[in-house]
Structure 1
Amino acid sequence: MDLPEPIRRRLGDFSRTVFVDQRHSELSPEDHVTFLNQHTDVVSSLPLQMALFFNMWFFPLWWISEVVMLHLKYLFLPDYYKFILITILILMTLIEAIRLYLGYAGNLQEKVPELAGFWLLSLLLQFPLILFQLFNEAILIQPLERGVHIILASFILVEALSGFAALRAMVRHTESRFHLRQFSGIQEFKA
């Protein structure tokens, strides 16, 4: 299942503008020959894939402990925090499922738009939500909650950093392949 084409195009454009280093975008003729000989490059990130794998197995444990802790402290919370915490739990569950899917698809299939979507969801939604739950003492944070929030925040931070590196490498690789195709097309045209 792929992303819809307009979203894919926008995320691809976003990735190219943010992650392409203009100083290294031109390849020399020697680099083109080297690139032609290595046409089966793999640019998936092993650290990102490992973090995604362990996060996928840890998230159900986080969810169960979060539901149990919310049930235990529910009566002692003000009404607005009850609403906020239930909303955050639902949002984080949905976002995490989408985020992990996009991370897997983007990294293993080397799809730049999916990986960019994963990176944006990690940085703009999941990380602030987990930090809210980790540092807001008014929600009566229990020791188990603090522990699982620290682990999930660590996963999200590692995934955001390694996702940035993987996304940058994939965009460079895609850009160099595009330039190589243009270069080889010009050579065929001259011959």
Structure 2
Amino acid sequence: MPLHTPLPSNVRHGLASISGSLFIQNKTTDCGEHRSYHTGNNFSHEVLSSVPLQMALYFNVFFFPFWFISEVIMLELKYFLLPGYYQFLLVTAVTIITVIEILRLYLGYIGNLHEKVPELAGFLLLTFLIQMPLFLFLLTDEKILILPLELAVHVIYVIFLNMELLVSFFVLKIMTRQLATQFYLQKTDDLENKNVPAKCSQVTIQRSKRSMIGLQDRDALMY
């Protein structure tokens, strides 16, 4: 049973279009359902899910609650020592990271296990555009009074993010090209199947005409 995707259809088509424009010259879209095409060229579906990416996501899921608890404790310890605007920035950053991380990990699981290009592209964009800048802010800004436990958990998380970025980029590249190949081979098969009846009908008509001409000639000879 396919997992439910939280992405709207227009967002999914947009992400699929972005992936297609990045990795292939001819754009195609993923309908959202897992498909395995078997064409007349004996083209069979190849498993594209990445074991390293799935392992990184698996450990990331277990590490995330530990990071969240550690961050909340450290934030409570230093909260009243920070200026007002840094208090707001830290609370906002932790809130955004928490919400986005739940969505990001879920998209990563769906995109990798079910070989869905839009979900994997969304996972990659959320990692690169939102999570990585926020974690680098928490890791490098000395004015937020970085505590030793914070430094440790943030370094580990940045390592997770870098691994996932690198692996998911190559997986998305391979997956996009593979699905595009399946798409075009399927279209080729459909066109061939449509042309076969037309050719058969033309041959039948030609044979019928020849038979009619033969009967007419035979009748002419008889009379």
Using structure 2 for the length normalisation, give the TM-score.
Answer: 0.77
Q: 1:14: which partner in 2?
A: 18
1:36, distance to aligned residue in structure 2 (A):
4.3
Deviations, residues 29-86 of structure 1 (Å, cap 9, x unaligned): xxxx999435131111111111111000001000111011111111211111111000
Q: d(CA) in 2 for partners of 1:184 and 1:5?
A: 27
Aligned mate of 2:77, from 72, 92, 99: 72
Q: 2:131: which partner in 1?
A: 126
Match of 1:54, as an amino acid? Answer: F
Q: d(CA) in 2 for partners of 1:18 and 1:38?
A: 24
8 Å contact from structure 2 (residues 39, 186) kept in 1: no
Q: d(CA) in 1 for partners of 2:79 and 2:10?
A: 42
Aligned mate of 2:187, from 175, 182, 185: 182
Q: d(CA) in 1 for partners of 2:55 and 2:109?
A: 10
Aligned mate of 1:62, from 51, 64, 67: 67
8 Å contact from structure 2 (residues 139, 155) kept in 1: yes
Deviating 4+ runs (over 2 angstroms): 33-38, 185-191
8 Å contact from structure 2 (residues 108, 123) kept in 1: yes
Q: d(CA) in 2 for partners of 1:148 and 1:19?
A: 34
Considering only CA atoms, is the larger Rg found in Structure 1 or Structure 2? 2
1:183, distance to aligned residue in structure 2 (A):
2.2
Using structure 1 for the length normalisation, give the TM-score.
Answer: 0.89
Q: d(CA) in 2 for partners of 1:122 and 1:172?
A: 22
SS at 1:37 equivalent = coil
Q: 1:160: which partner in 2?
A: 165
Q: CA, structure 1 residues 56+92, in 2 after alignment: closer, same or farther (shift >3 Å)? A: same
Q: d(CA) in 1 for partners of 2:139 and 2:41?
A: 49
Q: 2:150: which partner in 1?
A: 145
Match of 1:175, as an amino acid? Answer: A
1:118, distance to aligned residue in structure 2 (A):
0.5
Percent same amino acid at aligned positions? 49
Q: Are 2:112 and 1:110 aligned?
A: no
1:146, distance to aligned residue in structure 2 (A):
0.5
8 Å contact from structure 2 (residues 86, 144) kept in 1: yes
Match of 1:100, as an amino acid? Answer: L
Aligned mate of 1:91, from 54, 71, 96: 96
Q: d(CA) in 1 for partners of 2:144 and 2:125?
A: 27
Q: Which moved more, 1:153-162 or 1:33-42?
A: 33-42
Q: d(CA) in 1 for partners of 2:88 and 2:194?
A: 65
Match of 1:14, as an amino acid? Answer: I
RMSD between superposed Cα atoms in Å: 1.8
Q: CA, structure 1 residues 35+89, in 2 after alignment: closer, same or farther (shift >3 Å)? A: farther
Q: 2:207: which partner in 1?
A: none
1:190, distance to aligned residue in structure 2 (A):
4.1
Q: d(CA) in 2 for partners of 1:7 and 1:183?
A: 28
Match of 1:52, as an amino acid? Answer: L
8 Å contact from structure 2 (residues 138, 154) kept in 1: yes
1:4, distance to aligned residue in structure 2 (A):
1.4
Q: d(CA) in 1 for partners of 2:103 and 2:161?
A: 14
Q: Are 2:46 and 1:41 aligned?
A: yes
Deviations, residues 139-174 of structure 1 (Å, cap 9, x unaligned): 000111011000001101111111111111110111
